Amino acid sequence: DIKGMTFDLDGVITDTASFHEKAWHQTANEVGTVWTQALADQLKGLSRMDSLALILKAGHHEDDYTQAEKVSLAEKKNRYYQQLITKLTADDLLPGIGAFLNELRSAGYRMSIASASKNAVTILKQLQITDYFQGIVDPASLSAGKPDPEIFIKAGELLALPPMALIGLEDAAAGVQSIKAAGQTALGIGLAAKKAEPDLYFDRTQDITLAAIHDKMN
């Protein structure tokens, strides 16, 4: 029986995935890597430094920068991203997510956040939904990012629920891989997630309800 949900944040709860994309596109232009949708999809869910490493690798620029220069490129991206998220309010939940969170809470499901983002706590506050979650994984505590299962394993431990009692929700292929490797049921949203063959698939957040999930599980 499912008793809890482990949520990715960016691109699942709110449309910050598009802000990450916009900010990384700017970094790609800066270092001279050609921006493609395939690259954008591969970046989804990856940690800040893993994302930068992939952008540099895609343009064969990995040896053009010192570690200190890489850190400053990543910091610059984050400053731009943080400017973009200052505008977020409670109106910026993705369609249907507010209703789904209320439905889950009313039905007694436990929820935690499995986001790679160091900005997650700020974003949850701005969206005014922090109280829905019994736990938020600290991404600074991770030894490996998505697709490694560590983050979803920790998100399950925060709820004191075993993997078989959990559904993980993701918009990224790396995230779906992480959920599956953690032994949880993977719910993928959108085409990037679909590539990693989630157990349950939704095109759009507005279609996600407990009834729709139960239908797909049977």
**Residue numbers of the site for ligand BG6 (CB under 6 A)?**
9-10, 17, 20, 43-48, 51, 78, 115-119, 172
* Minimum distance, C-beta of residue 138 to ligand BG6, in the bound complex (Å): 11
User: Which of 8, 21, 41, 150 touches Mg ion (CB under 5 A)?
Assistant: 8
Task: Give the 3-state secondary structure of residue 4.
Answer: strand
177 binds, among Mg ion, ligand BG6, none (CB under 5 to 8 A by kind): none
Rounded to the nearest angstrom, the gap between the alpha carbon of residue 74 and the centroid of all alpha carbons in its chain is 18
Kindly determine how many residues on this chain lie close enough to bind Mg ion according to the rule CB under 5 A.
5
List the Cα angle 177/178/180 in 5-degree steps: 65
- Cα distance between residue 43 and residue 25, in whole Å: 11
47 binds, among Mg ion, ligand BG6, none (CB under 5 to 8 A by kind): ligand BG6
115 binds, among ligand BG6, Mg ion, none (CB under 5 to 8 A by kind): ligand BG6
Q: Is 10 a catalytic residue?
A: yes
Catalytic residue (one of 8, 15, 92, 171): 8
Q: Which of residues 142-171 bind Mg ion (CB under 5 A)?
A: 171
119 binds, among Mg ion, ligand BG6, none (CB under 5 to 8 A by kind): ligand BG6
* Minimum distance, C-beta of residue 54 to Mg ion, in the bound complex (Å): 15
Q: Where are the beta strands (DSSP E) in the chain?
A: 4-7, 110-113, 135-136, 166-170, 185-189, 200-202
Question: Residue 147: is the preceding peptide bond cis (ω within 30°)?
Answer: yes
Q: Is 41 a catalytic residue?
A: no
In 3D space, the residue among 9, 23, 45 whose CA is nearest the CA of residue 195 turns out to be: 45
* Minimum distance, C-beta of residue 119 to Mg ion, in the bound complex (Å): 12
Q: Which residues of 71-106 are buried (b: 16+ CB within 10 A; e: fewer)?
A: eebbeebbeebeeebeebeeebbbebbbebbeebee
User: Which of 6, 10, 185, 192 touches Mg ion (CB under 5 A)?
Assistant: 10
Catalytic residue (one of 10, 138, 203, 207): 10
Active site residues: 8, 10
Interface residues toward Mg ion, by CB under 5 A: 8, 10-11, 171-172
